[in-house]
Structure 1
């Protein structure tokens, strides 16, 4: 079958580059269209008009699942009302009609971060004799109220129901790391149809030594307790090294107040280009997460920017670091939470800098596209 005969649908919750899942979904759509596939994006909302126009110019059709298709209001701020909204939409006949009306039978469907759709879309798409490849960066494949069900019997019930009711309709599960593959296999009791497809980073075109590295230490990411940024700031304050903290989050204001007269620069939220520029100005990037990261894009970006990288032992961070040996080291939770130990580690490494911009072969966008095409070529249509 020629590429023009292959009809591919990309399901993602919004048209935006704000999130990693959305970026991967949209760049995949643009590439698949470029090589000749017929591509349609189905989404919940459009948040970037310029990106929307770029997608349309490429020849990709965009279909929006409008709010009127929902049984619930969908705008509640209360977490329990949100959970009830989701339950209402599990078997929402309006979404079923929408899906079956807009997806051509016998197509390939790539689903990314389907929050806002009913989990029953997997069943409905399967009834159209389509092949489903589902990309997830999370343990909970669909649930967007993870805090409500995390731990205990509710969590176990969720995993059990998803495994029984929906996994059988998914042909391939695509995950960004071996760590997440192992976790999903363990949680859902499945050992096949899971493929590792590493996230990609943009190719850098900067030469060695082109920017002065004025910051000894840097943190890049969400400013939240689970990210270990509070422990990082406390330890960095002891080093008296110039430190930059890039990102937005619930504890940013508190940290800015606590370290307002010190050697810290808190940038708040900045766009992607500025993030990378600040990274190139930093010698050592620290990723001290205290929870299981399912990938760790900032690790790869920091290495590509020539930084030395310190990563915690949680999740896939070590896995990403190992893609490019000798560019950093792993620090344990006990070292992170002990301010004196953490400070000593930061002092020891703050003068290290690789100062060599490289592309990590396994994480280039070209390699991502190559592996994606291998998966699509192996899909049996219809």
Structure 2
């Protein structure tokens, strides 16, 4: 088969991006012809050589946007991106010139591309799957517009394009239940994300507790830092985000806390195996929980928020860990009590029963099954 994979940003800085890139490479290894379609100004050049060696080509969409700036966009850049979301007609020309009717299209992220993408693909005669990694479709611009205006925007504009989507894939059962509130249940599939890497557990673990991920408010990182600063336990924090500089400055005198910033995927996986407990204190409803799944494969005990799909992921990887409710995360004294109880209870001495539920072979089998069903 010939695949065209749309993503809004060619990088490995997020779970959706990792799934899109590694999924493309996997399809190429299986003998398919694969191309990634991405805006020209949203490409990390360091990834291109690896993709080329893997047999994956990159096709550039000639358009400008500022999605990669995230919360650092100024008001003019926000307005520009909003206009592009409503009227990105360059996509039609791109699809007509680069997407053949025989191509099967997978859309991993359409933020910055506009939901017009779905309409133009249907007009071009393509079958396609939209992989919904987060809330971008039905909660778009919530931070920028907010409240009632955001809801009106969705219902008057973005909801219109749902009818053009052939199949929608969700990374978890939880996310599927969320999508069922506004989309045809018969067109929704669970396509669990996969994890990949050399998962090794170190017998002599260097760190007591660790956080891996984006340093953003919704990830609960501020409460985590405050809590571990009271514990004195050796703590590792891997990742970057809008709160990075603030947190480094606020906790610079706490010598038990080590900030390493962004690391390569392989280096992050290696460090997970050196941690006794990995904490995922998310305050929002996580659509999946890639960090939790990866840490579990390293034999690391999990303390994860009860938000979103995290309880589902914890169960599917073997249950070596426990849940913590959102209120206990916010109240740092309760958060600290939970962490300390883990270390004195003896649960860390138990041998984990790891289940490799989220492997890439399962992902490929399920993906091809969904494609074949949609074409039947």
Matches within 5 A, 1:1-382: 6-45=1-40, 47-67=43-63, 77-79=73-75, 81-88=77-84, 90-141=86-137, 145-159=141-155, 161-163=157-159, 165-186=160-181, 188-206=182-200, 210-262=202-254, 263-350=256-343, 352-353=347-348, 360-380=355-375
Q: 1:60 to 1:260 in 2, by over 3 A?
A: closer
Aligned-residue offset at 1:84? 4.2
Distance 1:204 1:100 in 2: 41
Distance 2:353 2:289 in 1: 17
Q: Which moved more, 1:248-257 or 1:19-28?
A: 248-257
Higher gyration radius (CA): 1
Aligned-residue offset at 1:356? 5.9
**Cα distance per residue 1:145-184 (max 9 Å; x no partner):** 3312333243243145322x21111111111111111112
Q: Is the 8 A contact 1:8 1:108 kept in 2?
A: yes
Q: 1:159 to 1:198 in 2, by over 3 A?
A: farther
Q: Which moved more, 1:340-349 or 1:72-81?
A: 72-81
Aligned-residue offset at 1:43? 1.2
RMSD value, Cα? 2.7
Q: Is the 8 A contact 1:111 1:135 kept in 2?
A: yes
Q: How many residues align?
A: 369
**Cα distance per residue 1:75-107 (max 9 Å; x no partner):** 993246434443356344432112112111243
Distance 1:89 1:344 in 2: 46
Q: Secondary structure at the match of 2:144?
A: helix
Q: Is the 8 A contact 1:41 1:60 kept in 2?
A: yes
Q: Secondary structure at the match of 2:375?
A: coil
**Cα distance per residue 1:246-288 (max 9 Å; x no partner):** 2222333333333333321122222222222222111011111
With normalisation by structure 2, the TM-score equals: 0.88
Q: Secondary structure at the match of 1:125?
A: helix
Q: Secondary structure at the match of 2:276?
A: strand
Q: Secondary structure at the match of 2:291?
A: helix
Q: Is the 8 A contact 1:204 1:358 kept in 2?
A: no
Aligned-residue offset at 1:289? 1.1
Distance 1:201 1:94 in 2: 34
**Cα distance per residue 1:23-67 (max 9 Å; x no partner):** 212222222233333323211136344532333344444210123
Distance 2:3 2:236 in 1: 43
Q: 1:250 to 1:84 in 2, by over 3 A?
A: closer
Q: Is the 8 A contact 2:220 2:281 kept in 1?
A: yes
Q: 1:161 to 1:344 in 2, by over 3 A?
A: same
* Gapped regions of structure 2 (runs ≥ 5): none
Distance 1:94 1:318 in 2: 41
**Cα distance per residue 1:104-149 (max 9 Å; x no partner):** 1243111111223232121111112211101121223287633123
Counterpart in 2 of 1:3?
Answer: none
Q: Is the 8 A contact 2:88 2:113 kept in 1?
A: no
Q: 1:176 to 1:79 in 2, by over 3 A?
A: farther
Q: Which moved more, 1:352-361 or 1:81-90?
A: 352-361
